[in-house]
A and B are shown apart, each in its own frame.
Chain A
Amino acid sequence: GENVEQHPSTLSVQEGDSAVIKCTYSDSASNYFPWYKQELGKGPQLIIDIRSNVGEKKDQRIAVTLNKTAKHFSLHITETQPEDSAVYFCAASYPGDQFYFGTGTSLTVIP
């Protein structure tokens, strides 16, 4: 099956700085890469996703990049705010609807 590795496991940034979280995957058949944000006591929520036919996608302060050759994808958050503090999960999915999640990154934005 697929193996998704996520780094770093914890990340602290000053408010206004950028945050980058990186993931690698092993199965070249994976074609869908979502990022989820989990706030304390809640279920994960999708914040952005990218498909394998696209190299980059942006939504306001959040962007995701995908390098299919190297099998890695990254989440970029610019101008971080305290409300960005949460646990972030990357995932990889391939046909058959199996989702494989990374181990999570706990992001703390220091005011």
Chain B
Amino acid sequence: EAQVTQNPRYLITVTGKKLTVTCSQNMNHEYMSWYRQDPGLGLRQIYYSMNVEVTDKGDVPEGYKVSRKEKRNFPLILESPSPNQTSLYFCASRPSGGLSGELFFGEGSRLTVL
């Protein structure tokens, strides 16, 4: 089944404790991205990657890091989480080029930073 898988789905952590949210897709997509969803603010892009070893900042990259060492994986790293990073996070992927612009989203990871 074609899917984007995120882990963990739920996480409660404390300020300053490094954490990684993993994202993996099995559709051989070149493009992957991370969003955060907050009430009243919609989906805001954190980072995106057009292909392996190519990453770019989105609109809200502060406090986050990403890496793209393999095509299928795009982990989101919070080196020193703070309470304002409490949010619902989504990973998404799509093929580059072609006519279809459809983004395929994961099920989301709800993060709480105390």
Contact = CB atoms under 8 A, between A and B. Distances in A.
Interface of A: 1, 6, 9, 32, 34, 36, 41-46, 49, 51, 89, 91, 93, 97-104
Interface string B20-63: 00000000000101010000111111001010000000110000
Q: Tell me if A's interface is mostly helix, strand, loop or mixed.
A: strand
Given A43-B90, A44-B90, A97-B31, A6 B58 contact: no
B75 interface: no
Contacts of A6: 42
Contacts of B50: 97
B105 interface: yes
Given A41-B108, A97-B48, A99-B103, 18 more contacts: A6-B42, A9-B40, A34-B103, A36-B105, A41-B107, A43-B92, A43-B105, A43-B106, A43-B107, A44-B105, A49-B101, A91-B43, A98-B45, A99-B45, A101-B44, A102-B42, A103-B41, A104-B43
Contacts of B45: 98-100
A44 B43 contact: yes
A93 B107 CA distance: 22
Range of interface residues on B (Cβ < 8 Å): 20 to 34
Given A32-B101, A44-B43, A46-B102, A97 B107 contact: no
A1 B106 contact: no
Q: Which has the most chain A C-beta neighbours within 10 Å: B35, B90, B101, B108? A: B101
Closest 5 CB pairs of A and B: A43-B105, A103-B42, A101-B43, A46-B102, A101-B42
A91 B48 CA distance: 16
A89 B37 CA distance: 11
Q: Among the interface residues B33, B43, B44, B99, which one has the most CB atoms of the partner chain A within 10 A?
A: B43
Contacts of B41: 103
